[in-house]
């Protein structure tokens, strides 16, 4: 009789391809056996009875800002990774700009990697930055394991992480293509956004609606079209992050149809919040690109259902409460939403239960596609030989999110007060239970 470290029994196992009843056996951090429709003839040091529960591959959050080292008063790898574990996320990709120093060379990458090894309760990976001064550092970053590179086509809001001009963008993409890596881009037009913002502020128009109108969808479209042309010229793989509208996604899909290697991400807040929420919640719901109107949300859900979106990442971009409690001028508040803990809750509630999005599609967008796109060959599904990174969820359990439920350093989020259906009960990383029944068990 086989002896394992952990057996999960009687669960409903969800992958991008199927939903089946079965048992999962885990040893040395790997899935060793999946028994479908029958019980495993084996013993284990620990057993979890998942009867009535669904077992999903752990989410891969491709877009978080954990700000460490140097800006941990905003978040940090310990609190950030704990919040992910509470939300069923087992792997994250941390963005390069919010840490001090930013991740723009291999020495700075080593600082961040060392901190994550010490503090993170889930699997860490890192983006490298592309800024005007570091094209010569891209190779070193790539050779030291960055998942890809990130550039801003408009100001990032961080003084030591400059946005790229067109020459830097072109030269950087040429270098990234030679490395066989990819570039993720924050695509908004600096000219359009800056000019509209100056006009609004100059006229004393500083409401939530004014902020949204200063960053229109056409700004995203202009930037996306420009960077796609550079991808076509350089052969660089391209990933557009946080598309806020299906109109943006359609431009990307046209490029895909021409044979370009370009993918697109959207975020839970664009699928669950609207301009009305920004008006009601203020800077707490401010982000860039901004929230859109309800019809844009519905169109974006249609794009998700139609397979037009590749990945859903949280774009968790936290800040101290003092930077979010600005009331008089919304332009003065920090633009970033705290939401990493709630990604799966939103996709289940707004997607699966409200709009009948299949569970298999949720797994595809949050685990299988990210693993394939970024070369994580042992993650993203539940099968023999894959990493034992799993989320066990009670789909029948509803709860109201309270601020005291949040594991963030700063317990604020536009999702506080919302009622979700589908509650994460257990999160397993490399065969180890790191979150269970509301408590962190990992380091």
- Three-state SS for the chain is CEEEEEEEEEEEEECCCCEEEEEEEEECCEEEEEEECCCCCEEEEEEEECCCCEEEECEEEEEECCCCCCCCCCCCHHHHHHHHHHCCEEEEEECCCCCCCCCCCHHHHHHHHHHHHHHCCCEEEECEECCCCCHHHHHHHHHCCCCCEEEECCCCCCCCCCCCCHHHHHHHHHHHHHHCCEEEEECCCHHHHHHHHHHHHHCCCCCHHHHHHHCCHHHHHHHHHHHHHHHHHHCCEEEECCCCCHHHHHHHHHHHHCCCCEEEEECHHHHCCCHHHHHHHHHHHCCCCCCCCHHHHHHHHHHHHCCCCCEECCCECCCCHHHCCCCCCHHHCCCCECCHHHHHHHHHHHHHHHHCCCHHHHHHHHHHHHHHHCCCCCCCCCCCCCECCEEEEEEEEEEECCHHHCCCCCCCCCCCCCEEEEEEEEEEECCEEEEECCEECCC
Instruction: List, edge to edge, every strand of the sheet that includes 149-152.
Output: 128-129, 149-152, 182-186, 237-240, 262-266, 311-312
User: Are 271 and 350 in contact, with CB atoms under 8 Å apart?
Assistant: yes
The pLDDT confidence band at residue 40, using thresholds 50, 70 and 90, is confident
Domain with CATH 3.20.20.140 in the chain: 59-373
pLDDT higher than 80, residue 280: yes
Cross-strand pairs, 263: 239
| pLDDT higher than 90, residue 399 | yes
pLDDT confidence of 41, banded at 50, 70, 90?
confident
Instruction: Give tens-digit pLDDT for 325-343.
Output: 888 899 999 999 999 999 9
Residues 142-157: b if buried by 16+ CB within 10 A, e if exposed: beeebbbbbbbbbbbb
Question: What mean pLDDT is reported for the chain?
Answer: 96
What are the structure tokens assigned to 402, written together? 């309270």
CA 206 to chain centre: 29
pLDDT (0 to 100) of residue 415 = 98
Nearest to 408 by CA among 416, 398, 399, 420: 416
Query: 38 falls in which pLDDT band (50, 70, 90)?
Result: confident
Q: Where is average pLDDT lowest: 152-161, 264-273, 375-384? A: 152-161
Supply the pLDDT for residue 326: 83
Strands 2-14 and 54-57: parallel
- As annotated, the residues of the chain forming the CATH 2.30.40.10 domain(s) are 2-55+384-396+419-440
Residue 426 pLDDT exceeds 80: yes
| Measured CA distances, 254 to 41, 182, 280, 308 (Å) | 51, 19, 36, 11
| Percentage above 70 pLDDT, the chain | 99
- Residue 28 has what pLDDT? 97
* Alpha-carbon Rg for the chain in angstroms: 21
Q: What's the pLDDT at 1?
A: 66
Structure tokens at 221: 């479209």
Task: Taking residues 371-380, report their average pLDDT.
Answer: 98
Give per-residue pLDDT as tens, 45-70.
999 999 999 999 999 999 999 999 99
Q: Residue 289 pLDDT > 90, yes or no?
A: yes
User: Is the Cα torsion angle 340, 172, 226, 181 positive or negative in sign?
Assistant: negative
- The pTM score is 0.97
Mean pLDDT of 191-198: 97
pLDDT at 73: 93
Fold of 59-373: TIM Barrel (3.20.20)
**Distance in angstroms (rounded) separating the CA atoms of residues 88 and 99:** 25
* pLDDT above 90 (res 442): no
Name the band, by pLDDT with cuts 50, 70 and 90, for residue 443.
low
User: Percent of the chain scored above 90 by pLDDT?
Assistant: 96
**Displacement of CA 132 from its chain's centroid (Å):** 25
Q: For position 61, what pLDDT does the model report? A: 98
What is the assigned CATH class of domain 2-55+384-396+419-440?
mainly beta
């Amino acid at each position: 009789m086989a002896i394992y470290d952990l057996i999960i029994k009687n669960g409903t196992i969800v992958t991008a391809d199927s939903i089946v009843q079965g048992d999962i056996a885990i040893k040395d951090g790997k899935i060793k056996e999946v028994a479908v429709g029958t019980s495993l003839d084996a013993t284990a040091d620990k057993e979890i009875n998942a009867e009535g529960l669904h077992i999903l591959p752990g989410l891969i959050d491709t877009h978080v800002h954990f700000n460490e080292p140097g800006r941990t008063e905003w978040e940090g790898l310990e609190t950030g990774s704990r919040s992910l574990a509470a939300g069923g996320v087992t792997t994250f990709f941390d963005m390069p700009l919010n840490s001090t120093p930013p991740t723009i060379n291999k020495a700075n990458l080593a600082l961040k990697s060392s901190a994550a090894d010490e503090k993170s309760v889930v699997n860490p990976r890192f983006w490298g930055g592309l800024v005007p001064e570091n094209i010569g550092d891209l190779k070193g970053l790539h050779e030291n394991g960055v998942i890809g590179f990130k550039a801003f086509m408009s100001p990032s809001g961080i003084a030591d992480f400059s946005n790229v001009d067109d020459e830097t963008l072109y030269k950087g993409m040429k270098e990234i293509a030679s490395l066989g890596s990819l570039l993720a881009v924050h695509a908004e037009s600096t000219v359009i956004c800056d000019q509209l913002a100056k006009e609004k502020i100059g006229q004393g128009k500083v409401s939530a609606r004014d902020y949204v109108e200063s960053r229109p969808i056409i700004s995203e479209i202009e930037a996306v079209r420009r960077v796609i042309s550079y991808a076509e010229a350089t052969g660089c793989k391209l990933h557009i992050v946080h598309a806020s509208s299906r109109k943006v996604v359609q431009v990307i899909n046209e490029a895909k149809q021409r044979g370009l290697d370009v993918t697109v991400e959207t975020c839970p807040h664009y699928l669950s919040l609207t301009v009305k929420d920004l008006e009601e919640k203020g800077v707490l719901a401010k982000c860039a690109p901004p929230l859109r109107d309800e019809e844009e949300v519905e169109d974006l859900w249609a794009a998700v259902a139609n397979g037009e979106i590749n990945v859903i990442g949280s774009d968790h971009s936290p800040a101290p409460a003092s930077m979010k409690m600005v009331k008089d001028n919304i332009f003065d508040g920090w633009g970033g939403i705290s939401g990493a803990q709630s990604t799966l809750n939103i996709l289940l509630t707004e997607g699966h239960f409200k709009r009948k999005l299949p569970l298999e599609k949720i797994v595809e967008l949050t685990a299988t596609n990210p693993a394939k796109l970024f070369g994580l060959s042992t993650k993203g599904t539940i099968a023999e030989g894959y990493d034992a990174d799993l989320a066990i969820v009670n789909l029948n359990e509803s709860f109201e999110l309270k601020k005291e439920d949040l594991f963030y350093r700063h317990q604020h989020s536009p999702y506080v007060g919302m009622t979700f259906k589908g509650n994460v009960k257990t999160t397993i990383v490399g065969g180890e239970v790191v979150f269970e029944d509301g408590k962190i068990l990992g380091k």
